Amino acid sequence: MLRIKGLFFFLTMIFLGSVSCSQNTNLPAPVDPVPSARQLAWQKMEFYAFVHFNMNTFTDKEWGYGDESPKRFNPTDLDCRQWVRVFKAAGMKQVILTAKHHDGFCLWPSKYTEHSVKNSPWKNGKGDMVKELSDACKEYGLKMGLYLSPWDRNSALYGTPAYITYYRNQLQELLSDYGPVYEVWFDGANGGTGYYGGARENRKIDRKTYYDWPNTRKIVRDLQPEAVMFSDAGPDVRWVGNEKGIAGETNWSMINKNEFAPGVAKQEVLNHGLENGKDWVPAECDVSIRPGWFYHRKEDEQVKTVDQLLDIYFKSVGRNATLNLNVPPDRTGKINEHDVQRLKEFRNALNAIFAVNLAAGKKVHAGSWRGRNQQFVPDHITDAGYDTYWCTDDSVKTGMLTIDMGKRQEVNLLLVQEYIPLGQRVKAWKAEALKDGKWVELARGTTIGFKRMFRFPTVKTDKIRLTILDARACPVINNVELYRIPDKYFQEIEK
């Protein structure tokens, strides 16, 4: 009996060995650069919240001078749990808070300054908003990110070497005392006029060298290894080059980060990335749901419409970027009813658009796939697994994938994903539908990246074909989805 069992075990091991062997040979080699684990986790969040809430909320400004009295900061009913509930219901995965904006006021009781909540009437100076947000995020399962403005118009030290120590001390407090932080936001606006401890003058700094970025960033890496750092120069996530929420139609996740610094960059390069960039630094689209970043009552009627938000969504998440949507709480310390309502409508629209993936589980035909190996078959693009993909032989940089929906369906939205853990490859693609026996072009584009979405006029068809026309190396596609955007939400924008 023991011998039979032993033989069975032996044969099983040989079988498993041959399976895993055949599965692991011939994997496509990564095309450098590729994302780090923290960058991939960040990209998968897709949509998250920016919260501009600070002294400006109470002074009705966008940029405080730095001479505002802490007494003015007094939310009457601050409720970070309400924010997080609203964001979670909207499908957002993270909340990034302006712990300190350019005016220098700190939302946590920093031991390095008096210009903070500890000298405000809010909770008799005993409050700590960063703690409240961190607790709320933990309770509801969202990630927390922090914005710590490098520019500080309150600090007397700004412009001198001592300020760098002050800035780093604050970074250290924020990254040590509040649990996990997943994104640290370094704003590019820095240097200029300010209060500066009463000096009231113009202080210019060298944006490239003043902050000694390599050593400042090291604090983040050491204390929060899972956090990505955002700035014009990354190092992990780059600004998209505008505050409208629009990524370039061509959007590579690569740039040469050492050519830039926070506040020193070419906006065109940030918007499109570089096909031959040496560093993986994907784009984030930051945009406000209102005209300003901070809450102003006079803007209550100017909250972006569902149509505007959808267009932004398709031009950010749909163009290989993430969407960091700013939703500023009002003076009570809650998300205002106007914005709450709009986010609900926006979520309803997204739910309606993505209700039924017409490609899910459908048969896919391709002329070729890598080594004719089961591991790379075309059906992987409709199987819902992130880590299964279709791929060609190394020498082949084009390919054709035909999705057979089985019956005629109305379609007007295509979603394609490249398997970016192996790098961003595709340079040109097109999509066609079979109509009356002929292939009719629906869409044509350049890059794909983590996710590319494309809206086209509604077509009724049973077969959609995606052609990869050119790539930096053999294309690796892990997902294709097809949808019918309800007419009410359809905007025929892309040409």
Contact residues for ligand FUL, defined by CB under 6 A: 62, 187-189, 286, 293
Between 142 and 325, CB nearer to ligand FUL: 325
Closest to 273 in 3D by CA, of 320, 312, 227: 320
* Closest CB 152 distance from ligand FUL, rounded Å: 13
Query: Which tokens is 275 given?
Result: 């096909």
Rounded least distance, CB 339 to ligand FUL, Å: 17
Measured from the CB atom, the residue of 51 and 466 that comes closer to ligand FUL is 51
Q: What single-letter DSSP state applies at residue 283?
A: E
DSSP string computed for 351-412: HHHTS--TTTT-EEEES--GGG-GGG-GGGGGS--TT--EE--TT---EEEEEEEEEEEEEE
Q: Report yes or no: 130 and 170 within 8 Å, Cβ to Cβ.
A: no
What percent helix, strand, coil does the chain show, rounded to 5?
Answer: 30, 25, 40
Judged by beta carbon, residue 189 or residue 469, the one nearer ligand FUL is 189
**Roughly how many angstroms between the first and final C-alpha of the chain, as a whole number?**
70
Query: How far apart (Å, rounded) are the C-alpha atoms in residues 132 and 109?
Result: 12
Rounded CA gap, 474 and 265, in Å?
32
**Smaller CB separation from ligand FUL, 62 or 307:** 62
Nearest to ligand FUL of 188, 421 (CB atom): 188
Tell me whether residue 182 or residue 429 sits nearer to ligand FUL (CB atom): 182
Output the smallest distance, CB 288 to ligand FUL, in A. 8
Peptide bond into 235 cis (omega under 30): yes
What is the Cβ-side half-sphere exposure of residue 327, based on CA atoms within 13 angstroms?
Answer: 30
Name which of 250, 315, 238 is nearest 39 in CA terms.
Answer: 238
At closest approach, how far in Å is the CB of 236 from ligand FUL? 17
SS3 111: coil
User: What is the Cβ-side half-sphere exposure of residue 481, based on CA atoms within 13 angstroms?
Assistant: 17
**Closer to ligand FUL at the Cβ: 335 or 459?**
335
Q: Which helix (H) or strand (E) holds 24?
A: helix 2-24
If the CB atoms of residues 173 and 286 are measured against ligand FUL, the closer one turns out to be: 286
Query: Contact at 8 Å (CB) between 414 and 447?
Result: no
Q: Specify burial of residue 421 (Cβ count, 10 A radius: 0-12, 13-18, 19+).
A: middle
At residue 18, φ and ψ (nearest 5 deg) are: -70, -35
Cβ-based nearer residue to ligand FUL, 134 or 190 = 190
* CB of 330 or CB of 432, closer to ligand FUL: 330
User: Taking CB positions, which residue lies at the least distance from ligand FUL?
Assistant: 189
The least CB distance from residue 257 to ligand FUL, in Å, is 18
Cβ proximity to ligand FUL, 211 vs 369, nearer residue: 211
DSSP secondary structure, 52-97, as one string:
--SHHHHHT-SS--S---GGG---SS--HHHHHHHHHHHT--EEEE
Query: Cis peptide before 486, with omega less than 30 degrees from 0?
Result: no
Computed on alpha carbons and rounded to an integer, the radius of gyration of the chain in Å comes to 25
Q: At what angle do helices 337-353 and 80-90 cross, to 10 degrees?
A: 20
CB of 188 to ligand FUL, least distance (A): 6
